[in-house]
Amino acid sequence: MRRLMSSQEFLEQRSELPDAGQWAELIRGVPVSLNPPDLEHGTTVLNLSKALSKYVHRTLHGYACFDLGIHVEHRPDTILFPAISYFTQGERFAETDNEIASTVPNLVIELLSTHDRRGTINDRITAYRRHGIPSLWLVDPIQQSVHIVNQITTATRRFEVNDVLQGEPALPDFQITVEHLFAPPEWAN
């Protein structure tokens, strides 16, 4: 039987995994390599990062981190790497240079851009909820929709292409049309 890795061992050996561990996570002590995301994943992250940057500059409310590990389970350890984590507590940009978040984000944004991420999303939602993350956005490039899962109400809302996604309660006054999340950048045309 294979010995389970701790979070520290995983971080120390991550660069030795396929693709230098860029798409690897630790699931209950076992390193798992996910499929690399496609172009649509990158487009969506780009569009979200631009919208979040404008929001942060306008409101001075919180900050986003990209591909930051979140240690959601202990003994055995599970570290997930969502596309975006958003923080509003503590010193501004405190989590930016960390490999793993030291605090709980207010919002996690997962992109369902690969088969393996889609197939494990229910486990991911459960882990994030247990970890105390209040809001979760599931961005689906295939269906061009967003599902918002709220920890407080346990309600899930679905937003379609023509809907305006609003960031309550994690991102007060944040708005973006779902269609804009999936729009190719102007330079790509």
pLDDT tens digit sequence for 118-128: 999 999 999 99
Structure pTM? 0.93
CA 30 – CA 76 distance, rounded (Å): 9
| 159: amino acid identity, one letter | F
Which pLDDT score, from 0 to 100, does residue 90 have? 84
Q: Which residue, among 82, 52, 41, has the nearest Cα to 176 in the 3D structure?
A: 52
Contact yes or no for 80/127 (Cβ under 8 A): yes
CA 7 – CA 98 distance, rounded (Å): 14
Across the chain, mean pLDDT equals 92
